């Protein structure tokens, strides 16, 4: 199992707890958590990670703005970081807004373990994630 | 209606599905819910009283995650409608009963949590 850090950007403590536990069940224990886009950018300035799971609506700086800033930085330096939106969107076109902001994919909240596994497998190239026994849908 | 006969305002099966059979996670989620949802509801009530649409949108959005996770589907839908209205600054569609109903839900989750702890102790 290839352990690369995944950054969770999520302000809701229930979602944070759920995601950390779900990632652990998929064999990913190298996880960092930021409560909003500002904290995430600060963390990314000092660390690297394999993928970002980001809520869209957060106080301080939302996931859209955080993604725009990451993509602006990547135009000058660095490889493209996969950013997966976590959204309980309410407005029509929320998914399109995620893509326009530069996010790569979208997972509805609360995330289901199998959907999380499928999505992460698609974006974590070279990584095989497996559900623990008894967790198959 | 007799309080004991009233159906719970959330679906414990949805909560169990969210936790995916992980009883420790389920307990954690319930405890976090009981810690963070009451102050969110208080902030929403104040924002409704003062017509602060940005705060109403923020709090209803935050509540929706918590409500969806425990299967409080009807309250999640009401929060969703209020979030949409608040983002459009439409004040005359605010749901005045929402906070009281969320407080009733909090009571239900407290009961559920207490019963779970009693079962663990047996």
pLDDT at res. A92: 61
- Nearest CB among B22, B65, B80 relative to A14 is that of B65
For chain B, the domain total comes to 1
First to last CA, chain B: 31
Measured CA to CA, the distance from residue B96 to residue B119 in angstroms comes to 37
Q: What pTM value is reported for the model?
A: 0.88
Q: What is the pLDDT of residue A134?
A: 53
Domain A6-123 fold: Rossmann fold (3.40.50)
Angle of helix B53-69 relative to helix B73-87, nearest 10 degrees, comes to 160
Predicted pLDDT at A3: 45
Q: Which one of B21, B69, B87 has the shortest CB-CB distance to A110?
A: B69
Nearest Cβ partner for A18 among B18, B62, B64: B18
| Cβ contacts of A125 within 8 Å, gap of 6 or more | none
Contacts of A11 in chain B (CB under 8 A): 62
Question: Which of B32, B61, B69 has its CB closest to that of A57?
Answer: B61
Distance from CA of B3 to the nearest CA of A (A): 28
Task: Say how far apart CA A85 and CA A6 lie, in whole Å.
Answer: 13
pLDDT tier at B101, thresholds 50, 70, 90:
very high
Q: In this structure, is residue B18 part of a structural domain?
A: yes
Q: Which domain holds residue B56?
A: 12-121
Is the pLDDT at B2 greater than 90? The verdict is: no
Give the distance from residue A135's alpha carbon to the nearest chain B alpha carbon, in angstroms: 7
Contact between A20 and A32 (Cβ < 8 Å): no
The token duo for B102 is: 């969320």
pLDDT at A129: 63
Q: Residue A1: what pLDDT?
A: 35
Residue B6 lies in a domain: no
| Residue B19 in domain | yes
| Residue B17 host element (H or E) | helix B12-19
Q: Is residue B52 part of a domain?
A: yes
Q: What is the pLDDT of residue A2?
A: 42
pLDDT tens, residue by residue, B103-121: 999 999 999 999 988 887 7
Residues of B with CB under 8 A from a CB of A: 18-22, 25, 28-29, 32-33, 36, 58, 61-62, 64-66, 68-69, 80, 83-84, 87
In angstroms, the Cα distances linking A44 to A48, A73, A87, A108, A117 are 6, 11, 21, 24, 23
Q: Is A110 an interface residue toward B (CB < 8 Å)?
A: yes
Among B65, B75, B109, the strongest candidate for a mutation testing the A interface, having the largest count of A CBs within 10 A, is B65
Using CB atoms, pick whichever of A11, A13, A88 lies closest to residue B68: A88
pLDDT in tens, B39-92: 999 999 999 999 999 999 999 999 999 999 999 999 999 999 999 999 888 877
From chain A, the residues in CB contact with B73 under 8 A are: none
Assess A109–B contact: CB distance below 8 Å, yes or no. yes
Q: What is the CATH classification number for the domain harbouring B66?
A: 1.20.120
Please give the average pLDDT of every successive group of 10 residues along chain A, which has 137 residues.
78 96 94 97 94 93 96 88 84 80 92 92 75 50
Answer whether B83 sits within 8 Å of A90, measured CB to CB. yes
Residue B91 maps to a domain: yes
pLDDT digits (tens, 9 = 90+) for A43-69: 999 999 999 999 998 989 999 999 999
Q: Which residues of A touch B26 (CB under 8 A)?
A: none
What does the pLDDT look like over B23-44, one tens digit per residue?
A: 999 999 999 999 999 999 999 9
Tell me if ipTM is over 0.85: yes
Predicted local confidence at residue A136, as pLDDT: 45
Nearest to A111 by CA among A12, A1, A5: A12
Residue A137: predicted pLDDT: 37
Q: How far apart are CA B54 and CA B47, in angstroms?
A: 9
- Contact by Cβ (8 Å): A63, A57: yes
Chain B residues whose CB is inside 8 A of the A93 CB are: none
Q: Is residue B3 domain-resident?
A: no
- Whether B58 maps to a domain, the answer reads yes
Q: Do A25 and B20 touch (CB under 8 A)?
A: yes
Angstrom distances, CA of residue A75 to CA of A29, A44, A72, A80 = 30, 16, 5, 9
């Amino acid at each position: 199992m290839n352990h690369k850090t995944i950054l969770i950007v999520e302000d809701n403590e229930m979602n944070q707890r759920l995601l950390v536990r779900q990632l652990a069940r998929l064999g990913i224990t190298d996880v960092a958590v930021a409560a909003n886009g500002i904290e995430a950018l600060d963390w990314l300035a000092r660390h690297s990670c394999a993928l970002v799971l980001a809520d869209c609506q957060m106080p301080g700086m939302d996931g859209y703005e955080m993604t725009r800033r990451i993509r602006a930085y990547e135009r000058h330096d660095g490889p493209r970081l996969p950013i997966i939106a976590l959204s309980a969107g309410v407005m029509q076109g929320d998914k399109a807004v995620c893509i326009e902001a530069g996010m790569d994919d979208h997972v509805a909240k609360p995330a289901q373990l199998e959907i999380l596994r499928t999505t992460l497998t698609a974006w974590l190239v070279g990584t095989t994630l497996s559900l623990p026994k008894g967790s198959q849908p | 209606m007799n309080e004991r006969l009233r159906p719970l305002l959330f679906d414990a099966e949805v909560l169990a599905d969210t936790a995916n059979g992980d009883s420790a996670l389920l307990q954690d989620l319930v405890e976090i819910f009981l810690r963070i949802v009451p102050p969110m509801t208080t902030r929403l009530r104040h924002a409704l009283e003062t017509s602060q649409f940005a705060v109403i949108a923020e709090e209803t959005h935050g509540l929706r995650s918590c409500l969806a996770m425990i299967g409080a589907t009807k309250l999640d839908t009401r929060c969703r409608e209020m979030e949409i209205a608040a983002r459009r600054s439409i004040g005359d569609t605010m749901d005045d009963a929402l906070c009281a109903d969320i407080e009733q839900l909090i009571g239900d989750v407290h009961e559920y949590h207490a019963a779970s702890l009693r079962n663990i102790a047996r």
